[in-house]
Amino acid sequence: MSRRAPLRAFLLPTALLAACIGPGATAPEPGQSADVAVMTAVVERVRARPPHRGFPLAVAPVTVSYEPERYPFALRREFAAALTDLGAKHGLLEPIRPPYLSGIPVRREGVYDPYDLDQYLLVRFSPVGFSADSSRAALLVVYDCGPGCGSRAGIGLRRAANGGWRIGEVRPIPEPAGDRAPPASAPAVPPGPGASPRSP
């Protein structure tokens, strides 16, 4: 057995593990806020694995209001403190300042614009919740791609050694009951000849 065999035996599993984990976290730009660094990490994930294919990406210019009753989701215990902090930011709307996140434009036309939804997969972020030691983050992400097209997810992230963020968990969120289209009612059948219509 050659001396290289043990080295190969070590390197092959290491390479496979790295491929499964994915690329390393991107270090934040100098002066970049933690909130923007978290959003940038999510945008990078969406670019690599879009939840709805065939649409150019854009980011909404203002955070979406996080309402725990409307968008309930749970993450693993490691993200509990970040999720609690997110809950404390209930109803908070904040502008997303940079013009681009990881090369994806942050729209400036308005919070909602039907033209944008026809043309883009619009990524809407809630404010970001952080654990007390800032090692974990949690947020709601809403994907809009037009009427009847879109989804929501709760996302937990871990801070990397270089200050960037890695996706740790993605939890799909069902569509809120108030957003669902009402079920189609059965068409009215006219009464037959000689029959009297039923009273409601």
The pLDDT-based confidence of 14 (bands split at 50, 70, 90) is very low
Residues 122-149 pLDDT 10s: 999 999 999 999 999 999 999 998 888 8
What is the pTM (predicted TM-score) of this model? 0.74
Please report, for residues 28, 80, 88, 177, the alpha-carbon distance to residue 137 in angstroms, rounded to integers and kept in the order given.
Answer: 15, 9, 13, 27
190 or 58, higher pLDDT: 58
Confirm if 59 and 109 have CB atoms less than 8 A apart: no
Residue 110 is predicted with a pLDDT of: 53
Mean pLDDT of 191-198: 44
Residues 148-192 pLDDT 10s: 889 999 999 999 999 999 999 999 998 876 655 554 444 444 444
CB atoms within 10 A of CB 38: 25
Nearest alpha-carbon partner for 94 in 57, 119, 65, 118: 65
Residues 85-104 pLDDT 10s: 999 999 999 999 899 999 99
Residues 18-40 pLDDT 10s: 333 445 688 888 888 999 999 99
Q: Which residues of 87-106 are buried (b: 16+ CB within 10 A; e: fewer)?
A: eebeeeeeebeeeebbebeb
Cβ contacts of residue 141 below 8 Å, gap of 6+? 42, 123, 124, 125, 126, 152, 153, 154, 155
Q: Which helix (H) or strand (E) holds 59?
A: strand 57-59
Strands 57-59 and 121-125: parallel
